[in-house]
Chains A and B, each alone.
Chain A
């Protein structure tokens, strides 16, 4: 059986050099491609004169409405082990957060409580770039639907350098709004 392959009858020597050089070039190109995109082009995640404001909290709001006092008659009808004097709703209030930067509203949002019965904690997270330098930051927070307006408020002057993170958190145990 004869095998035939039409190939340009270049001198075998020249062909070998061509193949060898071709392989070196192609492998080098591949290595350069890998080496370059492994770190380049660089990605700018923040402007050069920007700082980052990160707001984050998880907080169970207050109950949505006042408890109701049960009358004596009503209590008498209930099984003995369930006779609680008050009837309280399980649902919690949504949490309302407002942030002002240098007197201008930056951010205003309401976070719902988690869970099908809306009886869990509300959780919020926002990441916002602000310009570096001195700012007056005012944070208002409401976790009680029975209160109009805000039941927590905190103002603070911050002076982040470029790239610095300003963190707004909320912790009822530590007295409410924290700015770090």
Chain B
């Protein structure tokens, strides 16, 4: 066996648990229906932003018509629905359903990150900063229903004040505010209306904080999905307009309530006399969520390391790093370049994309100790070149003249499916295909390999957001460092390797279609390639 499969991080990186496999299966199935760019499951965070904006626009509209006095509130909301069903009434329903969808999308987004174990290591920041968004989102929704001042709002007022009353410092006074009509003041009610603006603003601030450490965060869904979301929200609003329940009457309690379970699911616990239990659950859930990155730490690979001797300060690693982990600082080693790359190790995902971007990562360099400007300690470029050369030598030793099929060097992502190495097929694994410098492709071909096969993840599945896209752009010559134009593109294949069958099929097709080097190339070229390969052995 030649060029065995090497995991550069030393641990199993395929979806580790059954839940992750299942979710991935569902996502792939939905890809088939929505297409990868339109698949809602792949852009839940962006959908959250989108729904937030829909709720904001519709909310501003109905707020302008809302009467913040205790006597006028209910009537003003009723007027929207009955007197202006096509404008304010519709906006009211859109506001409700966009908010409901927001809650669902937020929860799905959390579950997806949870199932894919994307919460520890460098992701702790996004995870932990997501937790307050849950509570702010819920508070915003509960506050919204409170403003309608109908039977449901009365239920909410009772439950929320009873819930807070068990805390020291709040007490019974809060409940008494909503006990009889004469203690209920317009001032208090205006405060509620004010909170319903303040809390969503805080939520927006929190959302902004949440994505701070992500380079180019996707905060707007694909256009088709964005439009469809608006359309179905409007259709739902028309099919089932949002209605109020009977007006609040503090001397009566309605037997039945239509609850919005997306926001009010916890309040029945207080209604059943268990406010303490709800506090316990709330605090426990918060602590558990916040502590999760440290309770279940990732077996994390080391961060990228800059080697100043090989860094010219070009800034490509800074541009391409998906997590903003590289910053450019003034030169510290006295060389004449203006800047140097510095890695913020806390943010580094160990994806190697920076190493793939660095101009020093070319294996054609004749230095004895091949090191690049920004190196992955677990997968140094020098070792990658050595591994490739060993594989090529293996092809050589197997005697190229007797081979029946073309030889292929496979560069495979550790996170996707990887073809098995076999005669004539060497497999080199990378933390992400984004780590592959295009010059390695040219190097392998020049050294006599018939084809280079890149086993990438499917569209949208990249563990590090953009690794496959970056490599595709580099191979297509659209991004530096690019594959030299002189390289025969029919000898290079980048395939999406979602499952074993697809991977093996793609590799077999590619291999079968490859012109075997010996038949195609003039004898001189073959000899030169062999000599080149040999001169590279045992550097």
Contacts and interface: CB of A to CB of B under 8 A. Distances in A.
Interface of A: 1-6, 18-19, 22-23, 26-28, 30-31, 33-35, 37-40, 42-48, 52, 54, 56-58, 114, 123-125, 127, 162-165, 167, 180
Given A27-B228, A39-B259, A45 B240 contact: no
A35 B252 contact: no
Interface stretch (B172-180, B287-295, B519-527): B172-180
A40 B490 CA distance: 59
B175 A125 contact: yes
A33 B180 CA distance: 37
Nearest to B175: A125
B138 to A, nearest CB: 15
Contact of B260 (A28, A31, A37, A45): A37
Contact of B256 (A4, A30, A42, A125): A42
Nearest to A15: B32
Contacts of A124: 172
B255 interface: yes
A152 to B, nearest CB: 19
Would you list the 4 A-B pairs with minimal beta carbon distance, nearest first? A39-B258, A22-B33, A123-B172, A1-B489
B466 to A, nearest CB: 18
Given A27-B228, A163-B255, A165-B250, A6 B33 contact: no
A2 B254 contact: no
A31 B236 contact: yes
B256 A34 contact: no
B381 interface: no
Interface stretch (B69-77, B334-342, B415-423, B494-502): B494-502
Contacts of B502: 6
B155 interface: yes
Interface of B: 30, 32-35, 96-97, 100-101, 104, 155, 158, 162, 165, 171-173, 175-176, 179-180, 228, 232, 235-236, 239-240, 242, 250-262, 268, 271, 273, 475-476, 489-490, 492-496, 501-502, 505-506, 509-510, 513
A44 B493 contact: no
A46 B162 contact: no
A41 to B, nearest CB: 8
Contact of B97 (A5, A19, A35): A35
A133 to B, nearest CB: 15
A124 B171 CA distance: 9
Contacts of B180: 167, 180
A135 to B, nearest CB: 17
A152 B33 CA distance: 73
A174 to B, nearest CB: 13
A131 to B, nearest CB: 13
Contacts, number: 141
14 contacts: A1-B476, A2-B510, A22-B34, A23-B228, A30-B232, A33-B104, A35-B236, A39-B258, A40-B258, A42-B257, A48-B255, A56-B176, A163-B255, A164-B252
Nearest to A49: B255
A121 to B, nearest CB: 9
Contact of B495 (A4, A18, A23, A43): A4
Chain A interface, DSSP helix/strand/loop, else mixed: mixed
Contacts of B493: 1-4
B475 A1 contact: yes
B34 to A, nearest CB: 6
Contacts of A42: 256-259
Nearest to B454: A1
A39 B241 CA distance: 11
Contacts of A163: 252-255
Contacts of A43: 256-259, 268
B252 A165 contact: yes
B34 A6 contact: no
Contacts of A58: 172-173, 176
A127 B232 CA distance: 42
A162 B255 contact: yes
A151 B292 CA distance: 56
A1 to B, nearest CB: 4
B255 A34 contact: no
Contacts of A52: 253
Contact of A5 (B235, B262, B496): B496
Nearest to A114: B171
Nearest to A122: B172
B35 A19 contact: yes
Contacts of B175: 56, 125
Given A27-B232, A127-B162, A45 B179 contact: no
Nearest to B264: A43
